[in-house]
Structure 1
Amino acid sequence: MQIPDAEAMQAFNRTVVEEFRSNGGKVGGQFEGADLLLLTTTGAKSRQQRLTPLAYLRIDGRLIIIGSYAGADIHPAWVHNLRAYPRAKVELGTTSFDVIAFELPAAERDEIFSRIISVAPGFADYQARTKRVIPIFELQRIR
């Protein structure tokens, strides 16, 4: 699959972030009714703060994000950022908090992925589009 155009993605993400923050974490359009969060990571190379809107799932009370990048053959930048700097900030609705991200090991990832696709089958399509294994992260709140 072709890599998404970075400039177009940034513009799209800015619009989603503005709508999210203006409406208490709710957005319309293609994401209407979806569970979205805003993830602020530290750039793996730049060390600059990077803000990304992401879909998330709650599985067994765990906050889960999926590095699908719509099935592109590369990981989204936030995956590289979390691997380099696992501390991040999450905005969920009108609440924000710090987290530590843990990438799920292969066996756990596979078990969780099967549960993800049972409720969000589009992720199976994304995995089928790429040879890379789509990474899954758990975001654990820092108390």
Structure 2
Amino acid sequence: MRGARIVQKVSSTRGFARVAPYVVPALDRAVHRLTRGKVLLSAQLLPGVVLTSTGARSGQRRRTPLACMPEEGGRGWILVGSNFGRPGHPAWSHNLLVHPEAEINFKGRDIPVTARLLEGEERAAAWKAVLAFWPPYAAYQARVDREIRVFRLLPR
């Protein structure tokens, strides 16, 4: 438990927010590719998926390793567009707004999903659960003026 608290504390820092967006996804993509989808390095700390979405402008398929919060009973996944507490929304979140039909790789399985941006009470309930799951999201939200996007992904 102590190790998890240390990781949470480090991941809440501005220094982590400056470095992590470049290092973590690159390592995740490389390890995921080398292990043929069996290992996602960041998933050693938090559950993770590799999201394959369609680029909003380019129409190209985009693969993005992301932390996720699996919902009870395997009914879906929550994705948080925190962008490590940086000012802008992450590109993958805009892609899902334009093209909600996507695919995730979760624990080595490819799963077609539909993404939905959560709003109002539904977002508030998911946000509360997300903060209990990974408290550093509160630090990310405190650093930015935008409301962090929260998506629910459901299998198609």
TM-score by length of 1: 0.85
- Determine the structure 1 residue equivalent to 2:84: 70
Unmatched runs of 5 consecutive residues or more in structure 1: none
TM-score by length of 2: 0.78
More helix by share: 2
Residues 1-143 of structure 1 mapped to structure 2, 5 A cutoff: 9=22, 12-23=24-35, 24-27=38-41, 32-60=44-72, 61-142=75-156
Unmatched runs of 5 consecutive residues or more in structure 2: 1-13
Distance in 2 (CA, whole Å) between partners of 1:90 and 1:14 is 17
**SS of alignment partner, residue 89 of structure 1:** strand
Deviation at 1:31, TM superposition (A): 5.1
Tell me if the contact between 1:25 and 1:36 (Cα under 8 Å) persists in the aligned partners: no
Deviation at 1:119, TM superposition (A): 2.0
Letter in 1 for 2:30: E
- Once the two structures are superposed, residues 24-72 of structure 1 have per-residue CA deviations (whole angstroms, 9 ceiling, x without a partner) of 1341xx6533211100110000111111000000233431110000111
Deviation at 1:4, TM superposition (A): 5.6
Question: How many residues get paired?
Answer: 137
